[in-house]
């Protein structure tokens, strides 16, 4: 690698694997590490026939009763036997590294499972040496918790433990007690855990709920505000995003910096995008990447995505780097969420969303199955696994619908498992699967491959600056990426109808917007624009700037060198 080359987490594409649902090698119906090894060629075999991703992020694989998809840890340093052995993990690391694929582990540092031996000890008596490893407080009265904080899932964030009569704090579900990060022994143990996996050779961590580590020392109540659900009725001033959590992020960065080439990315669960920036510090002293939930939760409006991107572009420090995603194991899948009820537009919208994700300035994270257009599955209640789904039913907050097994083939079991899958397959596997889409040049899968390839071959898309193109019709989101004298313009027509973009092409796509919002033509406005990738035109075609029109949902990526 050339010294000036950007690090992999800057220029690469990250692919999230929900381990239980990706590929099952031992036939027990649940995905496992050997199953992932079997599919590495699909992810990146170094040729254009594979997806071409640069890193995988695995949902938690350490010891856990799996009551919350592994985000309920009972042992931080062993591999969960449901997924394999430590030898399997080492083999996976070696196989990935041989292909140039990095491996990111999920680390849930905020809480453990209530089955973790630490918690069992901690709850056993008030004077147990591990008592202070968790957050215990006396209630205001017999059944009145210490304060009004709520858990992310509806009820109080405090649960009374009859054994000692005190309450313990859990930001999430009652079986996920929060660790007490104010206790230096807890901090040391968690940092040692991070080192344990870095020593093994993992390339980084996805840090679960990283802005939740600390709560206000004085347990001050949050003020009320209007909201859609009980958790949203409070302004979370005191139970999350405390300065001590951002300080810990710096310590973790310092720790990771001792291992060259590793990266930290954080789940920042918040409605305040500023918290995301706080986790990035000055771009060199905190997280490498922070999830930008604000972008992932937009609806189908060009303007909303544009605003979300512009906010981040305007506020992110120059040395920090954005990171975008549209899907993960907690969100409804975009293939369903962004289309209309009848779904006729699901395919073109999915192609547009993919093009946006893979051409913006920032590291894109894909979620398994997104590339073949897996929908949000509708499961009968008796087949729910997710504790959130079970608890909030019939409200549609369950997450199982985005976690159904990967659809590899149209055969029985969808090529996922020879056994009974742990969650039912979505019926769409008969038509939406890797094998069939791989054979169809117009499929979503081939579109993702082409986009990822274009991105990796085009410095402007990988590393270039970002600038919104002003003056487009309101349902067109368009921007220029520029690096090393190369300009690439991306036009995304969010409407199902023809839209005229000739005007902004004529004015010069490279239209600069100054501080007053005025635009002026680009110096290179006379140069020819050629198609790099489009849902309509062939690559290499010259775009007639006087007649440029976008078809409904058209994606047009053009280059000028
Ligand atoms: C994170 C995870 C989610 C999990 C929660 C509690 O938000 O993404 O899946 O349930 O933390 O650990």
- φ, ψ at 313 (rounded to 5°): -60, -35
Judged against a pLDDT cut of 60, whether residue 309 lies above it is answered with yes
Distance CA 148, CA 143 (A): 12
pLDDT band at 2 (very low <50, low <70, confident <90, very high): very low
C-alpha to C-alpha distances, 127 to 121, 136, 168, nearest whole angstrom: 10, 12, 15
Question: Alpha-carbon distance 313 to 457, whole Å?
Answer: 23
Ligand 1 centroid, distance to 172 Cα (angstroms): 8
Q: Which of 64, 208, 365, 399 to mutate to test the pocket of ligand 1 (most atoms within 8 A of CB)?
A: 208
| Cα–Cα nearest to 490, from 442, 541, 529, 538 | 529
Q: Is 267 in the active site?
A: yes
Q: What is the pLDDT of residue 4?
A: 62
Supply 512's token pair: 């600069």
Residue with tokens 């969650």: 423
pLDDT at 528: 86
Predicted pLDDT of residue 469: 94
Give the tokens for residue 69.
């998809």
- Yes or no: say if 347 and 373 are a contact pair by the CB < 8 Å rule: yes
Can the peptide bond before residue 354 be classed as cis, meaning omega within 30 degrees of 0? no
Atom of ligand 1 nearest to the CA of 388: 10
Q: State the closest ligand 1 atom to the C-alpha of 72, by its place in the atom list counted from 1.
A: 12
pLDDT of residue 544: 87
Kindly state the average pLDDT of the residues 90-104.
Answer: 98
What are the C-alpha distances in Å from 544 to residues 48, 337, 349? 30, 35, 25
Q: Which of 32, 267, 475, 522 is catalytic?
A: 267
Where does the pLDDT of residue 526 fall: very low under 50, low under 70, confident under 90, or very high at 90 and above?
low
| Helices 86-98/184-200 angle, 10° precision | 60
Whether 208 is a known active-site residue: answer yes
Question: CA torsion 5→10→13→14, rounded to 10°?
Answer: 130
For residue 84, how far is its CA from the centre of ligand 1 (angstroms)? 22
For residue 532, pLDDT over 50 is answered with: yes
Q: Where are the alpha helices (DSSP H) in 281-362?
A: 293-296, 302-315, 334-337, 346-359
- Check pLDDT > 50 for residue 1: no
Q: Which is the catalytic residue, given 54, 106, 178, 208?
A: 208
pLDDT (mean) for 3-15: 88
Q: Which pTM was predicted?
A: 0.96
109-153 pLDDT, tens per residue?
999 999 999 999 999 999 999 999 999 999 999 899 999 999 998
Please say whether the beta carbons of 376 and 332 come within 8 A.
yes
Output the pLDDT for position 547.
Answer: 79
The angle at the Cα of 267, spanning 301 to 81, to the nearest 5 degrees, equals: 125
Cβ–Cβ under 8 Å, residues 139 and 177: no
In angstroms, what is the span from residue 493 Cα to ligand 1's centroid?
Answer: 34
pLDDT digits (tens, 9 = 90+) for 446-492: 999 999 999 999 999 999 999 999 989 999 999 999 998 899 999 99
The DSSP element (H or E) to which 31 belongs, if any, is: none
Helix (H) / strand (E) element for 430: namely none
- pLDDT grade for 508, boundaries at 50, 70 and 90: low
Ligand 1, atom 7: closest residue by C-alpha: 209
The pLDDT score that the predictor gives to residue 524 is 54
What's 376's DSSP letter? P
Say if residue 19's pLDDT is above 90.
Answer: yes
Distance CA 91, CA 87 (A): 6
Q: Which residues line ligand 1 (CB under 6 A)?
A: 68-69, 71, 108, 172, 208-209, 267, 269, 329-330
Strand spans (E) along 90-213: 102-107, 136-137, 158-160, 167-169, 204-207
Give the span between the Cα atoms of 133 and 168, in whole angstroms: 11
**Token duo for residue 12:** 């690469």
Interatomic CA distance for residues 333 and 241, integer angstroms: 27
Give residue 330 CA to ligand 1 midpoint distance, Å.
7
Residue 78 φ/ψ, nearest 5 degrees: -125, 160
Burial 332-349 (b: 16+ CB within 10 A, else e): bbbbbbbbeeeeebbbbb
More confident of the two residues 506 and 276? 276
Mean pLDDT computed over 287-312: 97
Cα distance between residue 101 and residue 555, in whole Å: 29
More confident of the two residues 346 and 344: 346
Tokens (6 digits) for 399? 């997450």
CB neighbour list of residue 355: distance below 8 Å, 6 or more residues apart: 451, 490, 492, 533, 555, 557
Nearest to 249 by CA among 199, 294, 284: 284
pLDDT value of residue 113: 98
């Amino acid at each position: 690698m050339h010294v000036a080359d950007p690090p992999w987490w800057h220029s690469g594409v990250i692919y999230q694997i929900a381990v239980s649902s990706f590929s099952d090698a031992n036939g027990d119906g649940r995905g496992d590490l050997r199953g992932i090894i079997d599919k590495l060629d699909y992810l990146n075999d170094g040729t254009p026939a594979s997806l071409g991703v640069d890193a995988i992020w695995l949902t938690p694989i350490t010891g856990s009763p799996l009551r919350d998809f592994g985000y309920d840890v009972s042992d931080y340093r062993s591999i969960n036997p449901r997924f394999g052995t430590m030898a399997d993990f080492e083999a996976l690391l070696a196989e990935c590294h041989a292909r140039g694929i990095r491996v990111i582990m999920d680390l849930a540092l905020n809480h453990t499972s209530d089955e973790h031996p630490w918690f069992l000890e901690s709850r056993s008596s008030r004077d147990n040496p591990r008592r202070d490893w968790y957050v215990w407080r006396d209630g205001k009265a017999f059944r009145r918790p210490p304060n009004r904080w709520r858990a992310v899932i509806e009820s109080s964030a405090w649960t009374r433990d009859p054994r000692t009569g005190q309450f313990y704090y859990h930001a999430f579900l009652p079986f996920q007690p929060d660790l007490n990060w104010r206790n230096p022994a807890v901090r040391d143990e968690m940092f040692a855990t991070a080192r344990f996996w870095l020593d093994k050779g993992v390339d980084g961590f996805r840090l679960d709920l990283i802005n939740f580590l600390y709560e206000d020392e004085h347990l001050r109540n949050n003020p009320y505000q209007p909201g859609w659900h009980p958790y949203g009725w409070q302004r979370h001033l005191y139970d999350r995003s405390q300065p001590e959590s951002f300080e810990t992020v710096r310590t973790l960065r310092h720790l990771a910096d001792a291992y060259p080439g590793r990266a930290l990315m954080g789940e920042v669960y918040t409605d305040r995008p500023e918290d995301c920036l706080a986790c990035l510090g000055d771009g060199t002293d905190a997280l490498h990447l922070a999830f930008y939930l604000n972008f992932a939760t937009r609806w189908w409006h060009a303007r909303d995505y544009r605003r979300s991107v512009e906010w981040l572009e305007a506020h992110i420090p120059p040395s920090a780097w954005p990171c975008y995603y549209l899907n993960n194991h907690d969100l409804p899948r975009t293939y369903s969420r962004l289309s209309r009820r009848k779904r006729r537009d699901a395919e073109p919208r999915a192609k547009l969303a993919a093009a946006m994700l893979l051409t913006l300035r920032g590291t894109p994270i894909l979620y398994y199955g997104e590339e073949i257009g897996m929908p949000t599955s509708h499961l009968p209640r008796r087949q729910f696994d997710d504790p959130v789904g079970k608890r909030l039913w019939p409200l549609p907050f369950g997450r199982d619908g985005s976690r159904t097994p990967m659809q590899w083939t149209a055969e029985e079991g969808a090529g996922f498992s020879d056994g009974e899958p742990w969650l039912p397959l979505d019926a769409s596997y008969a038509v939406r699967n890797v094998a069939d889409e791989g054979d169809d040049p117009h499929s979503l899968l081939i579109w993702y491959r082409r986009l990822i390839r274009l991105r990796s071959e085009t410095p402007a898309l990988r590393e270039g600056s970002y600038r919104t193109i002003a003056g487009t019709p309101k349902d067109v989101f368009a921007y220029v990426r520029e690096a090393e004298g190369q300009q690439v313009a991306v036009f995304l027509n969010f409407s199902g109808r023809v839209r005229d973009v000739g005007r902004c092409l004529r004015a010069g796509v490279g239209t600069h917007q100054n501080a007053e919002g005025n635009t002026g033509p680009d110096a290179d406005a006379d140069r020819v624009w050629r198609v790099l990738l489009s849902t309509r035109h062939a690559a290499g075609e010259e775009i007639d700037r006087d007649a440029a029109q976008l078809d409904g949902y058209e994606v047009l990526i053009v280059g000028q060198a």
